[in-house]
Chains A and B, each alone.
Chain A
């Protein structure tokens, strides 16, 4: 059986120097901007500092809403799900079409303030080896809640860019282990990678694996959570301190 190597990652940001102040400029830049920028502005946002879930999931929609004050453009861009597209060029075409449609239907030429322009950036991804290895899928029940959000990003988001079939690392591992995990694989495939924070994705994954291997534990944990209101979510890279480096007993 092949071990699952838990990796972690971080993104470094690289500016392109290209900016947009109107929707038309955004569209024009999108025509030939580095494909890494499209990836960064859709997916990279997941690893940035957040306190609460953002109103819109990608930077293009967020900018239209908060800087151009064009709510219609923001909503249409926000509904684009990058996971629906087989590659970034297809996603680029969809973005351009949605913006063209908006430009065709409005005579308004909205400008962002000079200090609220859209800045195109891309990322360099650094992948770290945590040196932790799992030999059986069941171990994910304990390992997932301990994973950093960087690990979740690497295995559940970045994996789709690495895998020719655009599959996350968890599914890829399970498929390789044989048909006995096909039901679990399907459950993982049901998790939407785009519309939630990495925090929430980690919880969903944990629930799916726990439900599969320890049915009943999820219901028990949910009832505990209802009894204790959660603190405000902070999107973080989730470091563990030496004293926290023990898996809490109540996970299972």
Chain B
């Protein structure tokens, strides 16, 4: 009784954002998967886009009748140093990784397999997220379900020696999932393309009262009356925070009242974050209108307030797996100036929901344009929000995961008829 009430409530809340039809589609797909044991495995419970997606996805799958759980592998400092290097190398950085770190990667996975084997071998569907837990499959010889490797990063031009090392752990999977066709690598199994999404009910994406937004801005010393630029991103070189500062400085020559916030988190599996953060602090030194916020200073609700309070949101990445912060900002009706790369290209329809740029100069030009055309800010923001509502919410994401599960468990056909 209690479960049923909760089910109705959660699905109804999503229906308010995504529509009744979307919920009905989920119910019809889930009807073929009722009672299936589904396990998601990743490397961190908090921090980063993967954990955020799973926080929303797992309860929804449970509410739809699947026996879904979420497991997190435990690692050492060397393990995370190795997987951070994987992250960079697989996105194209030429980076050789020592044999010692590679051994640590395999040993940590072997140790985690000892703990997780009963759950993983009993599961009907296992989603392994990103390279960190990829070798678990090789430690589960008696697995009975379908195993899916979900890659959230841009694998379009990997550093080949590292990709060759990681790829051998993936050959036994039943399917892979990439965010975009351009990110995919050839695999000996089916490769599905599923863009990620945001959760409209999360603390980070719920609407906020204007007073809350103003209070948060003032808390960080930002003047709510003056124009504000924002980039929310991990302190990672691929996110180009130094390029953002350069763009801000170029634009500030023409708009002296301009302010900038760089709000960056560091995930548990990202030891390089601290180094980049120090470089950013050094570049921002001496300018009271640049506010560098590190992860200790804010919550998801605070990030929400900053995105809501900003006039323009930047995501000037040089490489990007997908860039959920772009979707978050668009959901709040903000124009986004994004790097012309990766998944940002899918989200930003140039000149309609924001602007794609290749250089700090390009970003500065668009900042100037938007701040002198406030009507365009509102128009672009409204179009951006509708694009997200219909294409990048968690309900669409879940529908595609359920489709994949149905396809794998019902014969991999090109047409699935429900109802």
**A interface vs B, CB < 8 Å?**
7-8, 10, 12-17, 36, 49-52, 114-115, 117, 119, 121-131, 148, 231-232, 234-242, 244-245
Contact = CB atoms under 8 A, between A and B. Distances in A.
Interface in B191-233: 191-194
Nearest to B157: A114
Nearest to B340: A115
Interface in B384-414: 386-387, 389-391, 396, 399-400, 403-404, 406-407, 413-414
Contacts of B403: 10, 12, 124, 126
B86 to A, nearest CB: 21
Contact of A115 (B156, B396, B419): B156
B4 interface: no
Contacts of A239: 18-22, 389-390
Contacts of B418: 126-129
B104 interface: no
Nearest to A116: B182
Given A51-B352, A234-B387, A128 B28 contact: yes
A241 B24 contact: no
A36 B418 CA distance: 21
B407 A124 contact: yes
B185 interface: yes
Given A15-B191, A236-B390, 18 more contacts: A15-B178, A15-B192, A15-B193, A17-B187, A49-B349, A50-B349, A51-B349, A117-B182, A124-B414, A126-B403, A127-B418, A130-B21, A236-B387, A236-B389, A240-B21, A241-B20, A244-B19, A245-B20
B25 A17 contact: no
Contacts of B182: 115, 117, 119
B285 to A, nearest CB: 35
13 contacts: A8-B25, A10-B25, A10-B399, A10-B403, A14-B192, A115-B156, A115-B157, A126-B416, A129-B419, A130-B21, A232-B382, A236-B386, A240-B19
If over half of B's interface residues share one DSSP class (helix, strand or loop), that class is named, otherwise mixed; here it is: helix
Interface in B113-133: none
Interface residues on B, range: 35 or more
Nearest to A52: B352
Nearest to B391: A49
B324 interface: no
B315 interface: no
B415 interface: yes
A12 B190 CA distance: 12
Contacts of B373: none
B138 interface: no
A148 B21 contact: yes
Contacts of B187: 17
A237 B383 contact: no
A138 to B, nearest CB: 23
A124 B402 CA distance: 12
Given A119-B184, A239-B21, A125 B157 contact: no
Nearest to A117: B182
Nearest to A5: B419
Interface string B119-151: 000000000000000000000000000000000
